[in-house]
Amino acid sequence: MHARDADIVIIGSGAGGGTVARELAPLRAEGVRIVVLEEGPKLRDEAFTGREVEMARQLYTDEGGFLTEDRAMTIAFGRAYGGSTVVYTGTSLTITAGTLARWNVPDVAFEDVRRRSLKYLGENHVHLLDQADLNDNNRLFADACRRLGYRVEQFPLNLNGCKGSGLCNLGCPNAAKMGTHRVQLPEAERQGVTVVTNCRVHRLEDRTVVATVREGGPGEPPAWEPGEYRVRAKVVVSAGGAIGSPALLLRSGMGDALPALGRYFTCHPALILVGQHAQPITNYYGHPKSFYCDQFAEDDGFLLETCMYFPFTTAKSLTGFGDDHARMLAAMDHLQMILVLAIDPPEAENRVMLGRGGETVVRYAFPEGVRRSLVQAMRASARIFFAAGAERVHAPAATPFFIEAADAARIDELIPFDGLRLGRTTISSAHPMGGCRMGASVSDSVTDGWGRVHGQPGLYVADASLFPRCAEINPYVTIMALADRVAEGVRQDWPALEARSS
């Protein structure tokens, strides 16, 4: 067992951890020792091959297929130097005043979050793609939405030198995506922050972090030699994501003192829907996600986004098997894709918990409203596909699963509400949120509005687990804005925490 001393340990290096590391890095000039412990690897640029399974194994927990307890949904979250910012598509939306009002966290004002969000939009080179770089998959969606009278907007994206590989979710092979692995972490390291990759944190014992640096892990050699570590710190910032942070705090024995720990988990349950065109379209050439439609967010509880996935992900997203399934897959270059995101409510029983062996378990019961939203979203998407000229559409709740253009007028009838059957329909999530929610009271929250864990001086959370409700948009900018607040709080608290420790 190796013993190390640090002043500040940050667990996780994604949108939350990477931001905190960079924001606290100036403290290095005062001699403050800062270490980031990251479970995943740091890959060299040439290691981003774009090969689906190979990259998923290196960059995602459970290859992107982490299963909920009842196995009705998979959750994808990154595990790499840069966390999930390595594998997202870079969509950079800022949280709305309405959503933040629904969060209703004392001390978290919209103007403050907005100001911090704008800071990261600038830092991460967020902009709209040039029209010439929009492929058919995206244009068809936008044009069809407009034709149907649906509100549609172009996504701001955090790209610098994008070549349109379409491989964003497997890690950009052109180093163009401005995640924390490209912006905040390198800057933190330049200022003297140590980032230890392939390092799994098991638990906290007061402010001692118990961790293991993996031997023979992928990517660059970690900053510390392989082995088991006990790292003493004055400040610990947990930024392991909305599944990792609650699980870590539970494994550290904080469940009794923090009854809300792990609870109110939300995740924007998602469907990947597919329409097939008679002729090839450009879909996997160019950035995959240029537009979103929020026409239905307020009343029907879902968002629609363009997307383009890879052969295995597409195959498992289609319901069914056999010839029909294989025929649709055999025409990958004819496929148009839409990602549905349901806006799910925070429910105390949807939660991150520990299994009997101490393993991380996510329990998620689909609220009835979410099921209805997913079916409504299938209907809206089918209309968009047909308005875009698709000749057939795959709808997981339909019987049969394929709807021909000739039946476009019967969409509501062919996609019934009771057609969505958990365990049959592939439902996935890439936006885990909640579990260490912010709030005023220990009875229904885990931290205050600055990420300070109730009753645990020196312990902070800085990731999507802070969200008291779902973000209703792609969440990374909001995570960075909140992490920026957490870092400011740590800086304010630092003199007192340092004095207390010494």
Partner 1 sequence: MVPLSAAQRAFLLTLAARIVPWSSHLGPDRRDALLALVGDTLATRPPAMQRQFGLFLDVLRWAPVLRYLRPFDRLDAPRQDAVLRWFQDCPLALVRSGFWGARTLVFLGCYGHPDAGAAIGYTPSKDGNAVLHARARR
User: Interface with partner 1 by CB under 8 A: which residues?
Assistant: 50-54, 62-63, 65, 70-72, 132-133, 135, 162-167, 173-174, 280, 282, 284-286, 310-312, 314-316, 320-323, 325-326, 329-334, 357, 359, 421-424, 426
Residue whose CB is less far from partner 1, 332 or 405: 332
Whats the size of the chain, residue-wise? Answer: 502
48-56 own/partner pairs: CB under 8 Å, 24+ apart? 48/167, 48/170, 48/171, 48/172, 48/173, 48/175, 49/173, 50/165, 50/167, 50/170, 50/173, 51/170, 52/170, 52/310, 52/311, 52/312, 52/313, 53/312, 55/170, 55/171, 56/170
Distance (Å, rounded) from C-alpha 228 to C-alpha 381? 50
| Least spacing, CB of residue 283 vs partner 1, in Å | 9
| Least spacing, CB of residue 248 vs partner 1, in Å | 18
| Least spacing, CB of residue 484 vs partner 1, in Å | 33
Residue whose CB is less far from partner 1, 62 or 444: 62
| Torsion angles phi and psi, residue 122, rounded to 5 | -70, -45
DSSP element (H, E) containing 297: helix 297-300
Residue 314 near residue 278 (C-beta atoms within 8 A): no
The CA-based angle 188-189-190, given to 5 degrees, is: 90
Distance (Å, rounded) from C-alpha 309 to C-alpha 170? 10
| Least spacing, CB of residue 501 vs partner 1, in Å | 38
| Least spacing, CB of residue 276 vs partner 1, in Å | 11
Write out the two tokens for 373: 């939203």
Residue whose CB is less far from partner 1, 22 or 125: 125
| Torsion angles phi and psi, residue 169, rounded to 5 | -75, -5
Write out the two tokens for 27: 């403290």
Residue whose CB is less far from partner 1, 275 or 475: 275
SS3 at position 251: helix
CA 57 vs CA 174, 303, 346: distances in Å? 19, 29, 30
Residue whose CB is less far from partner 1, 402 or 467: 402
| Least spacing, CB of residue 438 vs partner 1, in Å | 32
Residue 446 near residue 459 (C-beta atoms within 8 A): no
| Torsion angles phi and psi, residue 328, rounded to 5 | -65, -40
Residue whose CB is less far from partner 1, 316 or 363: 316
Write out the two tokens for 460: 């902070």
Q: Are strands 126-127 and 428-429 parallel, antiparallel or unpaired?
A: unpaired
| Least spacing, CB of residue 97 vs partner 1, in Å | 36
| Least spacing, CB of residue 354 vs partner 1, in Å | 13
Handedness of CA 23, 25, 31, 32 (dihedral sign): positive
Residue spans of beta strands (DSSP E) within 53-168: 66-67, 74-75, 126-127, 153-154, 157-158
Residue whose CB is less far from partner 1, 315 or 354: 315
Residue whose CB is less far from partner 1, 73 or 387: 73
Residue whose CB is less far from partner 1, 190 or 421: 421
| Least spacing, CB of residue 24 vs partner 1, in Å | 34
Residue whose CB is less far from partner 1, 68 or 465: 68
Residue 83 near residue 13 (C-beta atoms within 8 A): yes
Residue 188 near residue 93 (C-beta atoms within 8 A): no
| Least spacing, CB of residue 63 vs partner 1, in Å | 6
| Least spacing, CB of residue 65 vs partner 1, in Å | 8
Residue whose CB is less far from partner 1, 356 or 406: 356
Residue whose CB is less far from partner 1, 267 or 462: 267
The conformation of residue 133, written as its DSSP 8-state character, comes to G
| Least spacing, CB of residue 361 vs partner 1, in Å | 10
Token match 């923090």: residue? 258
